[in-house]
């Protein structure tokens, strides 16, 4: 298993719908990249200033759905699965 360092989180990007609500099938070239993801793993919470972030106080834990910055997270492949690694500052909010 992969454990992020510091104030980083490992995200599994949400899957895109392949069909519009009106029933039109979208080709891969027409799909927008999703900015939604599910937290898979959390770092220890230390940020660059040496301060500790309490993930629970922010409402973040494994399985939480979040919205992240479009160009912020780094894309990685772990065990053949495309994932993203984002810093806390690149998370925009929690999706409830």
Higher pLDDT, 48 or 76: 76
The CATH number assigned to the domain holding 48 equals 2.30.33.40
Nearest to 85 by CA among 55, 76, 1: 76
Domain assignment present for residue 70? The answer is yes
Domain assignment present for residue 80? The answer is yes
Task: Report, as an integer, the average pLDDT of 71-96.
Answer: 91
Domain assignment present for residue 2? The answer is no
Domain count, the chain: 1
Domain assignment present for residue 23? The answer is no
Model confidence, pTM: 0.79
What is the pairing mode between strands 81-87 and 91-94?
unpaired
Domain assignment present for residue 76? The answer is yes
The domain of 88 spans 8-17+32-94
Is residue 43 very low, low, confident or very high in pLDDT (cuts 50, 70, 90)?
A: very high
Domain assignment present for residue 27? The answer is no
CB distance 27 to 18 below 8 Å: no
- The tokens for 32 are 């927008």
């Amino acid at each position: 298993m992969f454990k992020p360092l510091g104030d980083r989180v490992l995200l599994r990007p949400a899957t895109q719908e392949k069909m519009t609500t009106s029933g039109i099938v979208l080709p891969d070239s027409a799909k927008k990249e999703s900015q939604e993801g599910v937290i898979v793993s959390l770092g220890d919470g230390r940020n660059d200033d040496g301060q500790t972030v309490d993930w629970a106080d922010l409402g973040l834990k494994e399985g939480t759905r979040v919205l992240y910055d479009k160009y912020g997270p780094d894309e990685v492949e772990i065990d053949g699965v495309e994932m993203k690694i984002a810093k806390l500052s690149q998370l925009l909010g929690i999706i409830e």
